[in-house]
Amino acid sequence: MRIDLHTHSDRSDGTTTPTELVREAREGGLDVVGITDHDTTDGWEEAAKAAREEGITLVRGLEISCKHEGHGVHLLAYLPDPTHEPLVQELDRILEGRQARLPATLARLQDLGIDIEEADVRRIAGDAAAMGRPHVADALVDKGVVADRGEAFDAYLGSRGPAYVNRYAAPLEAMLHTVTEAGGVCVLAHPWAKRHNFDALDEAGLAALKQHGLAGVEVDHQDHDTATRERLRAIARNLDLVATGSSDYHGAGKRDHDLGCNTTDPEQYERLVELARSAAVASGRPAPEVLIP
Question: Which of ligand AMP, Zn ion, Fe ion, none lies near 189, with the C-beta cut-off 5 to 8 A by kind?
Answer: Fe ion
Question: Which of Zn ion, Fe ion, ligand AMP, none lies near 149, with the C-beta cut-off 5 to 8 A by kind?
Answer: ligand AMP
| Torsion of the alpha carbons at 42, 218, 19 and 158, rounded to the nearest 10 | 70
CB within 8 A of 63, min separation 6: which ones?
Answer: 6, 8, 12, 36, 37, 38, 39, 74, 75, 76, 77, 189
Please report whether residue 132 would count as binding ligand AMP according to CB under 6 A: yes
Please report whether residue 11 would count as binding ligand AMP according to CB under 6 A: no
Angle (deg, nearest 10), helices 133-142 and 85-111: 30
Of the two residues 10 and 13, which places its CB atom closer to Zn ion in the complex?
13
| Torsion of the alpha carbons at 112, 107, 72 and 282, rounded to the nearest 10 | -150
| CA-wise closest residue to 200 among 77, 71, 63, 64 | 71
Please report whether residue 13 would count as binding ligand AMP according to CB under 6 A: yes
Of the two residues 131 and 189, which places its CB atom closer to Fe ion in the complex?
189
Please report whether residue 254 would count as binding ligand AMP according to CB under 6 A: yes
Residues of span 167-186 touching Zn ion by CB under 5 A = none
User: Exactly one of 149, 248, 268, 275 binds Fe ion (CB under 5 A); which one?
Assistant: 248
Please report whether residue 221 would count as binding ligand AMP according to CB under 6 A: no
User: Exactly one of 11, 26, 60, 149 binds ligand AMP (CB under 6 A); which one?
Assistant: 149
Separation CA 66–CA 26 (nearest Å): 31
| CA-wise closest residue to 12 among 98, 120, 81 | 98
Question: What binding mask, one character per residue, do residues 35-74 give for ligand AMP by CB under 6 A, x or -?
Answer: ---x------------------------------------
| CA-wise closest residue to 94 among 12, 169, 188 | 169
Which residues are at the interface with ligand AMP (CB under 6 A)? 13, 38, 132-134, 149-150, 153, 250, 254
